[in-house]
Amino acid sequence: MSSKKVYVDASKHRRAAAVVGIGHTNWGQDWTRVRNSEKPNDSYGYAATALVNALNDAGITKSEIDGLIVGPTTAYERMAEILGVDPKWGDQADAVLSVAQAVMAIESGLAETIALVYGNDQRSGQIQYGGPQAMGGDSFLSYIYHAPWGLTSQGALYALTFQAYKNATGFGESDLARVAVAQREWSSQNPNAVMRKRIEVENYLEAPYICEPLRLYDYCMINDGGVALIVTAAEKAKTMKQKPVYIDGLGRRDLNSKATSLEPRLTEFYHPAQEDCAKQAFAMAGIGPEDVDILQVYDSFSVHIPLALEGYGYCRKGEAAKFLAESGVGPGGKLPVNTSGGHLSESYMQGWAHQVESVRQLRGECGDRQVHGCNWVHYTSDVAGKAVSIIYGK
């Protein structure tokens, strides 16, 4: 029997739904107030503020919302009560899966117009992402299995991933510096970004190690804030205030074999999952990597970028360093990556803010950082053993 993978033709699902509204809180103001020991909001309050802005952007009222998906930092039922909506369908999901689930719900007839909302008071709430009580301690299995070796933080896990990647490919710390420098150059042109001061490679290399070989500028920020999206059926989207931004492609591939170990990160760097995910998403959208105008990558750590460049076919395996040096991912580069500044410099909204940036770029609303002629944006999230992608199009 042949072991060749057979993919379902998903092209008929292309453009079944579109994003018609985006909103978020004032991340810079949230950052300043929290650092001044204020407590501007809890997670629900941030999400509610973001939704008000998204509804205004879409030109609709909450009475038109018949579906609700909330981020994993909040409870679905409680969020619905606080927002004052009574959805007939709802769920809880992370940023990338919330978009995929919204599309499936719309295609299934479970809902027509769905609000996707996220709020997080991680900074003011002093959430721990490392140590014995990292995000729930022994209930968070990916930390527990490695706690005896001191790997209780994502930083430790990705430091080990980067060390393995360096050894396998010769990719160096000065190569990784290009990622942080490029994203700070993008954020310097973004009025919504928390970190807007440009840095150079020398600044990166002078910064202290947090978990060697990862330095300060390799880590995402930890900040409060909220994000919301309005996703609706394609036909309805045509009648609404904003130009629709369509979901052209979706893909997902999990690495469940040895998922509780580090092996998928240390031996193949997520590449098998990324390659499989790319085949699905690009086939559904009817395009290839060469057609993508912007790549948005979930960047809790800078090392996600070179791994994604290789895994999704933007450069050959082992040639990410060459690509970063010769082609570039910053302003003026061949492949703009994380044009808002990403998690490293704009705001750590766990992938949700990347969706907002994707929509803004396709609408042509990004001012100085606008990538002209932008027709397709590829967003990818490669965490916790799974690769998931969305391709947005005009």
Average of per-residue pLDDT across 93-112: 96
Give me the pLDDT at residue 12, please.
Answer: 62
Rounded to whole angstroms, the Cα distance separating 376 from 278 reads: 14
pLDDT level of residue 14 (50, 70, 90 thresholds): confident
Q: Does the pLDDT at position 10 exceed 80? A: no
Average of per-residue pLDDT across 83-100: 96
Tokens representing residue 75 in the block = 């409870």
How do strand 294-297 and strand 376-383 relate by DSSP bridges?
A: parallel
Write the DSSP string, 93-134.
--HHHHHHHHHHHHHTTS-SEEEEEEEE-TTTTT--SSSTTG
Tokens representing residue 27 in the block = 């991340």
355-390 pLDDT per residue, tens: 999 999 999 999 999 999 999 999 999 877 789 999
Q: What is the sign, positive or negative, of the torsion defined by CA atoms of 168, 384, 271, 321? A: negative
Mean pLDDT, the chain, integer: 92
Which of 43-47, 107-111, 257-261 has the lowest average pLDDT?
257-261
Give me the pLDDT at residue 6, please.
Answer: 47
319-340 pLDDT per residue, tens: 999 999 999 999 999 999 999 9
Rounded to whole angstroms, the Cα distance separating 151 from 90 reads: 35
Note the helical H segments in the chain: 27-35, 43-58, 76-83, 95-107, 141-144, 154-169, 173-187, 201-206, 234-237, 263-267, 271-285, 304-311, 320-326, 342-345, 352-363
Which residues, in sequence order, are CB contacts of 314 under 8 Å at separation 6+? Answer: 289, 292, 295, 308, 323, 335
Rounded to whole angstroms, the Cα distance separating 205 from 228 reads: 36
Average of per-residue pLDDT across 175-194: 98
- pTM of the predicted structure, to 2 decimals: 0.94
Adjacent-strand bridge partners of 57: none
Q: Give domain limits for the chain.
A: 13-125+223-237
Adjacent-strand bridge partners of 390: 250, 379
Which percentage of the chain shows pLDDT scores above 90? 82
DSSP state of 16: S
Phi and psi based region of residue 181 (left: phi greater than 0; alpha: psi -120 to 50; beta: remaining): alpha
Q: Does the pLDDT at position 9 exceed 70? A: no
Give me the pLDDT at residue 367, please.
Answer: 97
242-286 pLDDT per residue, tens: 999 999 999 999 988 876 667 778 889 989 999 999 999 999 999
CA atoms within 13 A on the CB side of 204: 24
Give me the pLDDT at residue 152, please.
Answer: 76
Q: Which of 23, 266, 27 is nearest to 123 (CA)?
A: 27
CB-based burial label for 336 (10 Å; 0-12, 13-18, 19+): buried
3-state secondary structure of 327: coil
CB 95 within 8 A of CB 49: no
Give me the pLDDT at residue 256, please.
Answer: 81
Q: Does the pLDDT at position 50 exceed 60? A: yes
Rounded to whole angstroms, the Cα distance separating 206 from 148 reads: 31
13-125+223-237 CATH, one of 3.40.50.720, 3.40.47.10, 1.25.40.10, 3.40.720.10: 3.40.47.10
**CA torsion, ordered 37, 41, 43, 45, to nearest 10 deg:** -170
Which of 118-132, 154-168, 291-305 has the lowest average pLDDT?
118-132
Which percentage of the chain shows pLDDT scores above 70? 91
Better-predicted residue by pLDDT, 264 or 38:
38
pLDDT level of residue 138 (50, 70, 90 thresholds): low
Rounded to whole angstroms, the Cα distance separating 70 from 119 reads: 9
Give me the pLDDT at residue 386, please.
Answer: 85
